[in-house]
Amino acid sequence: MKVGFVNIFGKPNAGKSTLLNALMEEKLAIVSPKVQTTRHRIKGILTENEYQIVFSDTPGIIEPKYKLHEKMMDAVKNSLEDADVALLIVDVNEDLQECDAIFSALKLKVPAIVVINKIDRASQEKIKEAVDFFSGKSYCKRSVTISATSGINKKKFINAVLEFLPEGEPFFDGEDISDLQTRFFVAELVREKIFELFGDEIPYQATVVVNEFKEKNTLTKIAADIIVQRESQKAIILGEGGKMIKRLGTESRKSIENFLQQKIFLELFVKVRDKWRDNDTWLKEYGYH
């Protein structure tokens, strides 16, 4: 059996979360057209008779402007070094030179597969240009072209990954799709709704913590805190007469029920924590280790 660890890396919006979701055929990482929605390392475990591949999604590359961002950068570096192979994913329509500059700067010790994504949105010439461009780079041990959204070349892609994995015993039970707690995914689903429902500022100022997760016979009770930095942000999330929080609650509930495949009862609370993003203790409490 081929067994190993694979890390997915690339600029924001390259399609890392989408690729992971497509591979796992489950909604594991949240997907959003806005950048920086993936703050944590998310692992998906793909187990078949012939292989077990453990995937990590990494946050996009961002400036260490806040402490939070420094931690995100640490997560990127850590995750890239402890894998059998790194997937450097690029949007085929992006500035390839710029992607190359970032990939080169990583000075990877692990072999890398350059994954050229979104080929459903590019001409054959453009795709060939990207393949030719990356195949000359020293970090690029292999390149594959895919479309994460439409699943084009998924098999080819998996076979390319398997070339780099050692033989071994599986690390995880076949039943596990992820070693992360369901709570975490639930919090991510609420955060995804915050991205959808609120303007530019709010999503980056808010985090979600699931405090209660009680499974009863037919219903799971979930309570979550939405942490913001200012009273004014709390007011926006609540909305006039609680209109927005109600909507957020309804939409989050549907999304969570869809993920868990069971009925839930969801309670959301909004809490103000001044400058949580610059506070080490809170960052730890909210799961940014």
Q: Is 117 in the site for Mg ion (CB under 5 A)?
A: no
Tokens describing residue 224 = 């979550």
Residue 222-261 contact track with ligand GDP, rule CB under 6 A, x = bound: ----------------------------------------
Residue nearest to ligand GDP (CB): 15
* Rounded least distance, CB 21 to Mg ion, Å: 10
* Rounded least distance, CB 115 to ligand GDP, Å: 10
Determine the Cα–Cα distance for residues 194 and 229; give it in Å rounded to an integer: 15
Tell me which of 6, 14, 189, 206 binds ligand GDP, using CB under 6 A. Answer: 14
For ligand GDP, the closer CB: 33 or 241: 33
Tell me which of 3, 6, 18, 205 binds ligand GDP, using CB under 6 A. Answer: 18
A 10 A CB-CB count for 106 gives 18
For ligand GDP, the closer CB: 35 or 235: 35
Tokens describing residue 190 = 């609420």
Q: Is 149 in the site for ligand GDP (CB under 6 A)?
A: yes
Instruction: Kindly state the DSSP code that residue 138 receives in the 8-state scheme.
Output: T
* Rounded least distance, CB 16 to ligand GDP, Å: 3
Q: Is 121 in the site for ligand GDP (CB under 6 A)?
A: yes
Contact 95, 13 (CB under 8 A): no
CA 258 to chain centre: 18
Residue 280: in which H helix or E strand, if any? helix 280-285
Q: How many residues does the chain have?
A: 289
Determine the Cα–Cα distance for residues 122 and 276; give it in Å rounded to an integer: 41
Sheet with 220-228: strands ordered across:
207-215, 220-228, 264-272
For ligand GDP, the closer CB: 208 or 270: 208
Tell me which of 117, 143, 145, 178 binds ligand GDP, using CB under 6 A. Answer: 117
Query: Strand pairing of 51-57 and 85-91?
Result: unpaired
Q: Is 7 in the site for Mg ion (CB under 5 A)?
A: no
Q: Is 79 in the site for ligand GDP (CB under 6 A)?
A: no
Q: How far is CA 248 from CA 30, 243, 286, in A?
A: 16, 9, 20
* CA within 13 Å, CB half, 264: 27
Q: Is 38 in the site for Mg ion (CB under 5 A)?
A: yes
> 56-75: which residues touch ligand GDP (CB under 6 A)?
60
For Mg ion, the closer CB: 38 or 252: 38
Residues that bind ligand GDP (CB under 6 A): 10, 12-18, 31-33, 38, 60, 117-118, 120-121, 147-149
